[in-house]
Structure 1
Amino acid sequence: MIKVEGLTRAYGSFIAVDDISFECRPGTVTGFLGPNGAGKTTTMRVMVGLTPPTHGDVTIGGLHYKNIPNPGRHVGVLLDASAQHAGRTGREVLEIGAQTMGLPGQRVDEMLDLVSLDAREAKRRVRNYSLGMRQRLGIAHALLGDPSVLILDEPANGLDPAGIRWMRGLLKGYADQGGTVLLSSHLLHEVEQIADEMILIGNGLIVARGTREELLRDATGGVATTLVTALDNHQLTEALTEKGLPVHPAGAGLRVNAEPVDVGRVAAERQIVLTDLRAGNEGGLEDLFLELTADTQRDTLPDEATSEVPA
């Protein structure tokens, strides 16, 4: 478990992280989300002893990182994939890590295979790696000691779509086996697909936290909405209205103030064929994220960029 208590990190008069507290539990993936410069990396650097806190405390498994014996066997860390020694080969990077942790040499081959770096790529100098390859090598190094905790800062940077899907599966499987994962990113869509809980940070402050469903509920004021399209939208409108469910036109379909299961049940009862049925608050989480971190965004979005888009 990772436990952050009243953590503050100041640089002179600038407060990078401002009195934040949260926990990451075993068997879960926690998404740590915020714009660039929100305080995510600073928090992670404090976690692994690279930056001292100004106030507060961070423990991993009840210990400060510096007090964990052979920490690589307990905590896997990837903060900067480009920080690896450029003159070494990928295999050498992992071999040195294995020797430092007292691991058998075969563990290097297992990790290279896990992250899909083949024998030819493993012999190349890191300076000749693409960013995506460096990310894979960094993930391999983080997993080398078979740790119970993973702390990863922007691990999807540089990965292609197939690589991002691979990483999602890898981290979800790791958590399913009891591991604790803290995953930082500014890519909300990628993290929400695997995170059990999300923590939104802006200007060094936690501005929201919870599961995807809890955050969506907050984003829509607790009102469930559904987007639905039928072969006969008029017939579906009448059926839903009779059940007391408010219906509004939305593009080629309808927006209903109800859960998708309730809309589907009404359609099934009336034998109405649906061609589309989905939660209508899909943009709610992104809208909430942008709203809560608006004062830290570098770009000003036009009004229509955050307005509701019909289906």
Structure 2
Amino acid sequence: MIEVTGLTKSYGGFLAVDDISFRCQPGRVTGFLGPNGAGKTTTMRVMAGLTPATRGETLIGGHRYRDIPNPGTHVGVLLDASAQHAGRTGREVLMVGAKTMGLPESRVDEMLDMVSLSQTESKRRVRNYSLGMRQRLGIAHALLGDPSVLILDEPANGLDPAGIRWMRDLLKHYADRGGTVLLSSHLLNEVELIADDMILIGRGKIVAQGTKKSLLAERSTGTLVTAVDNEALSTALSAAGLQVNRAGDALRVDAQPLQVGQVAADQRLVLTELRPADGGLENLFLELTSDSQRDDLTHTDDPQGAPA
């Protein structure tokens, strides 16, 4: 378990993290979301003992990171895949970690195989690795000591679609075995697929936290639905007392997807699409962090009116 209580970090007059508190539970993947500069990486650096807190504390399994004996066997950390010794080979990077943690050399081979770095690739200097290969090496290093907690900052950065799916499956399996995962990412669709819980941060403050389902449900603005026979579906929904409006080729219903689906099932109507009308995690993220976004997303400029 990860416990963050009243954490504050300031740099001179700049408040990077402002009195935040949250928990990450075993057996669950927690998505840590926020715009650039929101305080995600600073929070993770404090957790890993790399940055001292101004106030508050972060505990992993009830202990501060610096008080954990042989911490790599309890906590796996990946904050910057590029911060690896460029002159060492991938194998050497893992061997140093294994020796530091008192692990057998066979563990290095297990990790290389797990992250799909071949023997040939493992003998190449890290400076010659692509970003995706460095991410795989970083994940291998984080898992080297078979820790019960993973703290990962943008682990999908640089991975191709197959690599992202591999990472998603890896982390789900890890959580299913009882591990605790804290994952930051800008790939909102990926977080929506993998996260059980979500923490949204903006300007150093927590703006929302809870299960993915509860956060999205609280801000749902209805349901978009289409059917083989939209007219029959519209009639059935109206008869059930639900407000229905046209939305292009779809129907927008002032109700939750479950209610809409139940009406369709009762009337034996075939649906071809059924989803929340709020656009999912992306709209939630933009709504709650709107005051910390660099770009104005409240309107779309007409490209024809743009200067040449």
Q: Which interval holds the TM-score relative to the shorter structure? A: over 0.9
Q: What is the match of residue 226 of structure 1? A: 223
- Determine helix, strand or coil for the equivalent of 1:303: coil
Offset, 1:228: 1.9
Q: Residue type of the partner of 1:208?
A: A
Q: Aligned residue for 2:306?
A: none
Number of equivalences? 301
Q: Label 1:21 to 1:261 Cα distance change in 2 as closer, same or farther (>3 A).
A: closer
**1:266 equivalenced with 2:263 (yes/no):** yes
Map 1:1-311; keep pairs closer than 5 Å: 1-220=1-220, 225-274=222-271, 276-281=272-277, 283-304=279-300
Which residue does the alignment assign to 1:309? Answer: none
TM-score normalised to structure 1 length: 0.93
Q: Which amino acid aligns with 1:8?
A: T
Match of 1:186, as an amino acid? H
Q: Secondary structure at the match of 1:95?
A: helix
- Contact 2:189/2:281 (8 A) holds in 1: no
Contact 2:219/2:278 (<8 A) preserved: no
- CA deviations 1:114-133 (Å, max 9, x no partner) are 00001111111000000000
Q: Secondary structure at the match of 1:3?
A: strand
Q: Which runs of 4+ in 1 moved over 6 A?
A: none
Gap regions ≥5 residues in structure 2: 302-308
Amino acid at match of 1:238: T
Distance in 2 (CA, whole Å) between partners of 1:5 and 1:57 is 6
Matches of 2:281 and 2:230, distance apart in 1: 28
Quick one: which amino acid aligns to residue 7 of structure 1?
L
State the one-letter code of the partner of 1:25.
Q
What's the Cα RMSD here? 1.5
Q: Deviation string for 1:7-32 (max 9, x for gaps)?
A: 00000110000000111111111111
Tell me, yes or no, if the aligned pair for 1:172 and 1:194 is still in contact at 8 Å.
Answer: yes
Contact 1:255–1:280 (Cα < 8 Å) also in 2: no
Q: CA deviation at 1:282?
A: 5.2
Task: Give the secondary structure class of the aligned counterpart of 2:194.
Answer: coil
**Does the CA contact (< 8 Å) of 2:75 and 2:148 recur in 1?**
yes
Q: Percent identity?
A: 72
